[in-house]
Amino acid sequence: MDTKKIAITSYYVFVSVLGIVGVLVVVSAFPITGNFKIMAVLSGSMEPAIRTGSIVVVRPSTSYSIGNIVTFTGTSGGKSIPITHRVMEIRVDRGVPSYITKGDANNAPDARLVAHREIIGGLVFSVPYLGYGVETARKPYGLAALILLPAALIIIDQAGRIKKELARLRREKEEKTI
């Protein structure tokens, strides 16, 4: 495979990945009830099932079972953060379920019960390493890069095509004058 084909393939793969990341960020931002949510996994508590830097796509459900992987609202340093762990046990009090969860890589279950209303959704699928891109795209400089990098690549590609076309026109003009 020559370098031109490699460059073209790399270009399309890069633009496609940026487009996918952009669509995922936009779709997950809409506050639609029952909508899929995209979360980045930034810790290794679910390794090897879900790698650090993965994205998880979750969707709310009316019930969860033992063994399901769920994302729920937790707190760290007074801030609300999403946590993705596996349901280990279900407790029902007055018809309302609560869940004991645990990260696969953790030695012990989480310290607190997770109320059903705290669960953002159950795992639909995960994609390794894409979480780094999604988290970067959610920041102002990442969003700018998401727009500017493809634009720069398109401009460079078009400038190259214009240069080739001008060279072709000059050759044709020189051939006609000879």
Active-site residue list: 45, 85, 110
Q: What's the length of the chain?
A: 178
**CA nearest 126: which of 61, 36, 65, 60?**
36
Among candidate residues 30, 36, 60, the one with its CA nearest the CA of residue 121: 60
Q: How far apart are the first and last CA of the chain?
A: 38
Q: Phi, psi at residue 50, to the nearest 5°?
A: -130, 115
CA-CA distance, 49 to 46, in Å (whole number)?
6
Q: Which phi-psi region, left, alpha or beta, contains residue 166 (left: φ > 0; alpha: ψ -120 to 50)?
A: alpha
CA 63 to chain centre: 25
Residues 6+ positions from 94 with CB-CB distance below 8 Å: none
Helix axes 130-137, 3-29, angle to 10 degrees: 60
